């Protein structure tokens, strides 16, 4: 099912459930996604679509209520789901790292930021304390924090949001991981800071051939920074493809609606089209095969049949969709050409 | 046309104690602007630039240190913020807050939230008040069946509608919107923005729209004000400012947008250099506040603080070396 011959991270037909008092939430179902070395892949979708559940599962830090009921996650050929706590801890922070959404919440408020970088180094390297300190300062400099020696001793509350996010990135990159998962890394930051942080992530990933999974609900950002984009809806990946192909000719009706609802590039407010309905309640026992069907303007009788990601056309092995009634490439291209 | 709202040399300083000395934090440092009836004015700028302080001064929940807030040609800046709650003008300036989850009382149903405004601002009770609540729910497209729900039983988009209904139930002339869609998904954001646009027409309100989403400001606003460290650095019609930004800071903002703007003149060369802004505590009046981050930044910028000056086309800019502006056809 996947186009990459030798992926670094491979999520294979993963299913995750949450058992709650209100019933079982089928948060992810049949989710497959692969990332190659040096590649940046965007994961987009509305809140509640399962973007964070997927990334938490890949990092092995899912909620205690979560159960992985099917599928596999492989990292550099190793089966992550078979790994016990200690083996996973050895990998996490060293080979794979994550940047969380809100840096002020994710950082320890009563520990100097430099010490927090040292904590990662102490766990994963055998550097002596003096060398750790030097390396921590170097890490701060790598994320372009001015005056890193002084900032080493700062507490998170003494730094701006953008600076805190840089510290988060410094912690994530301290051991030069091969995979970085960035969960909404710039939400809540100013646009100027946003651009600076994203450029930094892009430069560092290029420098180190690091694979990056960028989780965002900002399509503009996904388009600017990602090589490929995966679109999630209600726990399914509905479309994956090279960024330009996906924006030029989205094939899944949900992707098309999502792009039409985004103000980036729209000429007027009237041109924006809202997406009808809401995400279906994932606790329902009668969830349809296509979870977008109830919101979909194109639904038909065949939409009740089982569904899986498949190539969008004979010529596009890298562009996959999960839809029985996709848009034709020509039709969407014409529409989007009119916008440009 | 007379202005609905006008700020004249509006200032707000906050004393801060440092090393035993009291110094002044210049949160809003001499701002002049106006809003015409029916106009939508966007206010953009990074966090910490004084947007929220300015909004609190205009909505009269904070007292100015100096300058005037004129509403319908009366200086309401003279009314102390504590007295403003009972002031008849209170109902004419209303606000929609950023996060509908945080700004709704979790122990009030939607109906109670909206009814409180009717009771306090319009002085109505009983059947008359109930009718007003349902009318406002109708304006914002909130099904009446949802009125008796608590915030935790409503979706993000529904809570946003309650927040808007609460603000417009008193039929304000000016609605101040502080990032009203920041907490919403794009699909819901679209619906709320289109709702606001329609309400503005139907109820003939003016909007002051505070946002750091430039794409939304571009679509919704007639004019835009760009703030930097307590000052307005650029003001003008939205299309003109976005397509040919004159101030280096505006150019940086637009260049920072992912994907850029179609037809826009800003590029990567306009991005800010350096890190954090200057301190807003006792800033040097003879120095441009962007100096140090500005990709231009020449000697004169450190000697004379630039003032907001007209550059034609209804535009103003505070910069010694603004970008040459080609006027965009209207």
What is the ipTM score, two decimals?
0.77
- Neighboring chain A residues of B252 at a CB cutoff of 8 Å: 192
B86-144 confidence digits (pLDDT tens): 888 889 999 998 888 888 999 999 999 999 999 999 999 999 999 999 999 999 999 99
For residue A191, give the nearest of B188, B214, B276 by CB distance.
B214
Asked if residue A227 and residue A165 are part of one domain, the reply reads: no
Q: Which pLDDT value is given to residue A340?
A: 46
B188-212 confidence digits (pLDDT tens): 888 899 999 999 999 999 999 998 8
> Is A2 a member of any domain?
no
Asked if residue A118 and residue A51 are part of one domain, the reply reads: no
In a mutational test of the B interface, the residue from A217, A231, A258, A269 whose CB has the highest number of chain B CBs within 10 Å is A269
- Residue B179's closest chain A neighbor by CA? A188
B8-33 confidence digits (pLDDT tens): 999 999 998 878 888 999 999 999 99
- Residue B191's closest chain A neighbor by CA? A274
**Beta-bridge partner residues of A73:** A11
Q: Which pLDDT value is given to residue B183?
A: 78
Report residue B224's pLDDT band, with 50, 70 and 90 as the boundaries: very high
Contact (CB<8Å) B189/A261? yes
* Better-predicted residue by pLDDT, A16 or B325: A16
Q: Which pLDDT value is given to residue A264?
A: 82
For residue A274, give the nearest of B191, B214, B218 by CB distance.
B191
- Neighboring chain B residues of A273 at a CB cutoff of 8 Å: 190
Q: Which pLDDT value is given to residue A2?
A: 46
User: A129, A144, A176: which is the final residue of a domain?
Assistant: A176
User: A114, A146, A176: which is the final residue of a domain?
Assistant: A176
pLDDT surpasses 60 at B326: no
Q: What is the mean pLDDT of residues B58-64?
A: 93
pLDDT surpasses 90 at B186: no
Q: What is the mean pLDDT of residues B267-295?
A: 83
Asked if residue A203 and residue A55 are part of one domain, the reply reads: yes
Asked if residue A199 and residue A284 are part of one domain, the reply reads: yes
Contacting A residues, span 193-252, partner chain B, CB-CB under 8 Å: 193-196, 198, 217-221, 223-225
Residue A275 touches partner B, C-beta closer than 8 Å:
yes
A120-159 confidence digits (pLDDT tens): 999 999 999 999 999 999 999 888 888 899 999 999 998 8
Q: What is the mean pLDDT of residues B272-299?
A: 84
For residue A195, give the nearest of B188, B193, B256 by CB distance.
B256
The average confidence (pLDDT) of chain B is 89
Domain span including residue A256? 35-62+179-339
Q: How far is CA B313 from the centre of its chain?
A: 22
- Neighboring chain B residues of A257 at a CB cutoff of 8 Å: 187
Nearest CA to CA, how far is A66 from chain B (Å)?
Answer: 23
Contacting B residues, span 142-201, partner chain A, CB-CB under 8 Å: 155-156, 185-191, 193-194, 197
Alpha helices in A3-67 (DSSP H): 51-59
Asked if residue A164 and residue A184 are part of one domain, the reply reads: no
Asked if residue A325 and residue A191 are part of one domain, the reply reads: yes
Q: Which residues lie closer than 8 Å to A13 by C-beta, 6 or more apart?
A: A30, A31, A32, A70, A71, A72
Contacting A residues, span 147-166, partner chain B, CB-CB under 8 Å: 160-163
> Is A260 a member of any domain?
yes
- Neighboring chain A residues of B274 at a CB cutoff of 8 Å: 146
Spatial CA neighbour of A140 closest among A169, A120, A112: A169
> Is A318 a member of any domain?
yes
Asked if residue A153 and residue A136 are part of one domain, the reply reads: yes
Q: Which pLDDT value is given to residue A336?
A: 58
* DSSP, res B324: P
User: A154, A176, A198: which is the final residue of a domain?
Assistant: A176
What is the maximal distance between C-alpha atoms in chain B? Answer: 68
| Number of structural domains found in chain A | 2
- Residue B272's closest chain A neighbor by CA? A192
pLDDT surpasses 70 at B304: yes
* Region class of B231: left (phi > 0), else alpha (psi between -120 and 50), else beta: beta
Q: What is the mean pLDDT of residues B142-151?
A: 94
Q: What are the residue ranges in chain A where pLDDT is below 70?
A: 1-4, 331-340
Residue A47 touches partner B, C-beta closer than 8 Å:
yes
Q: Which pLDDT value is given to residue A43?
A: 96
Q: What is the DSSP string of B143-193?
A: -GGGTT--GGGS-HHHHHHHHHHHHHTT--SEEEEESTTTTS-HHHHHHHH
Q: Which pLDDT value is given to residue A4?
A: 65
pLDDT surpasses 80 at B266: no
> Is A25 a member of any domain?
no
């Amino acid at each position: 099912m996947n186009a990459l011959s030798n992926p670094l991270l491979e999520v294979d037909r993963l299913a995750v459930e949450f058992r709650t008092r209100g019933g079982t939430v089928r948060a992810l179902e049949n989710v497959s996604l692969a990332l190659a070395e040096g590649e940046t892949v965007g994961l987009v979708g509305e809140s509640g679509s399962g973007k964070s559940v997927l990334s938490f599962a890949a990092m092995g830090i899912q909620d205690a209520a979560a159960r992985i009921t099917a599928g596999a996650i492989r990292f550099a050929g190793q089966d992550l789901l078979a790994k016990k706590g200690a083996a996973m801890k050895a990998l996490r922070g060293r080979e794979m790292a994550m940047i969380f959404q809100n840096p002020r919440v994710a950082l320890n408020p009563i520990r100097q930021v430099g010490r927090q970088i040292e904590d990662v180094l102490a766990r994963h390297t055998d550097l002596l304390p003096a060398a750790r300190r030097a390396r921590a300062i170097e890490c701060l400099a790598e994320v372009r924090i001015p005056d890193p020696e002084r900032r080493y001793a700062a507490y998170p509350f003494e730094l701006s949001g953008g600076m805190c996010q840089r510290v988060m990135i410094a912690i994530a990159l301290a051991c030069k991981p091969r995979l970085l998962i960035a969960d909404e890394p710039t939400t809540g930051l100013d646009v100027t800071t946003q651009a600076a942080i994203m450029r930094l992530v892009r430069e560092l990933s290029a420098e180190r051939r690091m694979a990056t999974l960028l989780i965002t609900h900002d399509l503009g950002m996904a388009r600017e920074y990602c090589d490929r984009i995966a679109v999630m809806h209600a726990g399914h990946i509905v479309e994956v493809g090279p960024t330009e192909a996906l924006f030029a000719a989205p094939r899944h009706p949900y992707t098309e609606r999502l792009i039409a609802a985004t103000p980036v590039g729209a000429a007027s407010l009237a041109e924006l089209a809202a997406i009808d309905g809401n995400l279906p309640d994932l606790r329902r026992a009668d969830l349809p095969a296509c979870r977008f069907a109830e919101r979909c303007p194109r639904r038909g009788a065949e939409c009740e049949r089982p569904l899986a990601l498949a190539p969008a056309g004979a010529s596009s092995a890298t562009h996959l969709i999960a839809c029985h009634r996709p848009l034709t490439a020509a039709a969407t291209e014409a529409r989007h050409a009119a916008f440009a | 046309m007379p202005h609905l709202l006008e700020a004249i040399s509006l200032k707000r300083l906050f004393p801060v104690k440092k090393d035993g000395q009291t110094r002044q934090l210049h949160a809003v440092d001499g701002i002049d602007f106006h809003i015409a009836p029916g106009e939508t004015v966007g206010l953009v700028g990074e966090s910490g630039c004084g947007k929220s302080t300015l909004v609190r001064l205009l909505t009269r929940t904070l007292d100015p240190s100096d300058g005037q807030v004129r509403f319908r040609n009366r200086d309401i800046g003279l009314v102390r913020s504590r007295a403003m709650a009972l002031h008849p003008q209170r109902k004419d300036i209303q606000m929609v807050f950023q996060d509908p989850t945080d700004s709704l009382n979790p122990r009030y149903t939607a109906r109670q939230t909206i009814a409180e405004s009717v009771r306090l601002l319009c002085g109505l009770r009983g059947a008359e008040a109930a009718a007003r609540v349902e009318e406002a729910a109708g304006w914002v497209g909130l099904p009446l069946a949802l009125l008796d729900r608590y915030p935790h039983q409503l979706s993000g988009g529904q809570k946003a509608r309650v927040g808007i209904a609460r603000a417009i139930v008193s039929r304000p002339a000016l609605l101040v919107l502080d990032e009203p869609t920041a907490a919403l998904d794009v699909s819901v954001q679209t619906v709320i923005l289109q709702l606001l646009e329609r309400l503005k027409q139907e109820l003939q309100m003016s909007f002051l729209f505070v946002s750091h989403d430039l794409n939304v400001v571009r679509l919704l606003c007639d004019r835009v004000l760009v703030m930097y460290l307590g000052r307005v650095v650029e003001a003008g019609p939205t299309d003109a400012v976005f397509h040919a930004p004159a101030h280096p800071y505006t150019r940086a903002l637009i260049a920072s947008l992912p994907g850029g703007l179609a037809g826009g003149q800003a590029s990567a060369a306009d991005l800010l250099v350096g890190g954090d802004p200057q301190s807003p505590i006792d800033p040097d009046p003879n120095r441009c506040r962007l100096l140090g981050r500005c990709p231009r930044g020449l000697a004169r910028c450190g000697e004379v603080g630039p003032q907001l000056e007209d550059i034609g086309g209804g535009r103003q800019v505070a910069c010694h070396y603004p970008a040459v502006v080609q006027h965009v056809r209207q």
